[in-house]
Amino acid sequence: MSGFLDQMAAGSRDRATSARVREPLATLRARCMDLPSPPALALDGGFNLIAELKLRSPALGELGSASDDLAGRVTTYARSGAAAVSVLTEPSRFSGSLRHLRDAAATLAPMGVPAMRKDFLVDPYQLYEARAVGAGGALLIVRMLSHAALGEMLDCARELGLFVLIETFDEADIAAAERGIVAAAGRGGGCLPERTSSARGAERSGASEADGPADQRPPAAGGILLGVNSRDLQTLAVVPERLEQLAPGLPREYPRVAESGMTTPADAARMVRAGYDMVLVGGALMSAPHPGALVRAMLEAGRAVAA
C-alpha cells in the first residue's frame, strides 16, 4: 500500500476499535437487523452516475462546510437523476462523519435513492455502522484488504442488503476483486459476529494472494459494482489514461464504474466509449455552481453514447 493508504488504514482501524468499545458488534448487528431495508440501487440500462458529497479532499482542498445545506445538495443530486449518493465519512483528511451519512440517507430514503458510505473500510464492523445510520451501500478498496478480509466484507454486505462498489487501481486489484467475489459467492451465508476477527488487521501488505479460483465467476450478481480509480494514491494525481487502459480487463458481469477525474459531459461520454456503465463524480459536483445541471448534462451525454 502507499503511504497515504497506510495512514488511512491506521486511522480507520483506530476508529473501528473505539467504536467497538462504545457498542459491541453483537449489539450493533442486532440493531441493524431490526431496521427496514434501505432503498435498492436502481440502474438505468444505459448509463448511470453516483454523485458524491465530500467537504474536503487531500487533492482538491476545501470543498464545502458542515454548515452548508447538505440535505439540499443530496436532494438536488437525487432529483437530477443520480442513482446513488456517495458520502465521505473519513474525518481526518475529508472532514466526513457518520452523521453526514445518516442525514443524507434519511433525506434520500423517501426518494428511493441509496446513500453509500465512502471511507477506508478495514473492518466488517464499519459496514454495520453504515447500515445502522441508513446506508444502502459501501465502498471497499481492494488494495487495503486481504483476500480473506474482502470475502468477509462481501459476506457482511450481503447479510445487510448493502450494494458494494469494489475499487481497484490496476490489473492485480481487478484479479483480486474477482477472486474475492467468487469466494464469497461460493461460501454463501452472512457475516456472524464470531467470524469477524479474521478480517480485522488483515490489510494487504502488497503481496499478491492467489487463494481462490480466478478462472470461474458466479452469475451476474446484483449489488456488486466494480470500479477503477484514476487517482494515483501515491501522488494523489489523476492519471486519466488508467481508466481506458484497465477497462478491457473488467468483467462484464458487473456494472463498471469510472472514478475520479470526470468533470464534464464529454468525460462521461468518453467513459461510455471506453466501456464503463457508470461514473462516480465528486469534486466537480462539489465545485459546480449548479451541480444538478451538471448531473443531468453528464447523464444525457453518457446515455446518448450508450443508446
Q: pTM of this prediction?
A: 0.89
Per-residue pLDDT of the chain (307 residues), as tens digits, is 558 888 999 999 999 999 999 999 999 999 998 999 999 999 987 999 999 999 998 877 888 888 789 999 999 999 999 999 999 999 999 999 999 999 999 999 999 999 999 999 999 999 999 999 999 999 999 999 999 999 999 999 999 999 999 999 999 999 999 999 988 876 665 665 544 444 444 444 333 333 333 333 333 344 899 999 998 776 778 888 999 999 999 999 999 999 999 999 999 999 999 999 999 999 999 999 999 999 999 999 999 999 9
Q: CA-to-CA distance for 133 and 130, rounded, in angstroms?
A: 6
Buried b / exposed e over 28-40, threshold 16 CB at 10 Å, is bbeebeeeeebbe
For residue 138, give the nearest of 89, 103, 184 by alpha carbon: 89
Reduce the secondary structure of 171-216 to three states and give it as a string.
Answer: HHHHHHHHHHHHHHHHHCCCCCHHHHHHCCCCCCCCCCCCCCCCCC
| SS3 of residue 20 by DSSP | helix
For residue 61, what pLDDT is reported? 83
Structure confidence at residue 66 (pLDDT): 80
Four-point Cα dihedral 250, 253, 258, 264, nearest 10: 130
10 Å CB burial of residue 64 (0-12, 13-18, 19+) is middle
Q: Cα(13)–Cα(164) distance, rounded to whole angstroms?
A: 20
- Rounded to 10°, the helix 124-132/3-22 angle is 60
Q: Is 21 helix (H, G, I), strand (E, B) or coil?
A: helix
pLDDT attached to residue 45: 77
What pLDDT sits at residue 213? Answer: 34
* Cα separation, 56 vs 140, whole angstroms: 20
Name, in order, each residue with C-beta under 8 angstroms of 141's C-beta and a sequence gap of 6 or more. 5, 120, 121, 167
Q: Which domains does the chain have, with CATH numbers?
A: 3-203+214-306 (3.20.20.70)
* Beta strand ranges found along 30-162 (DSSP E): 48-53, 56-57, 61-62, 84-88, 115-118, 137-141
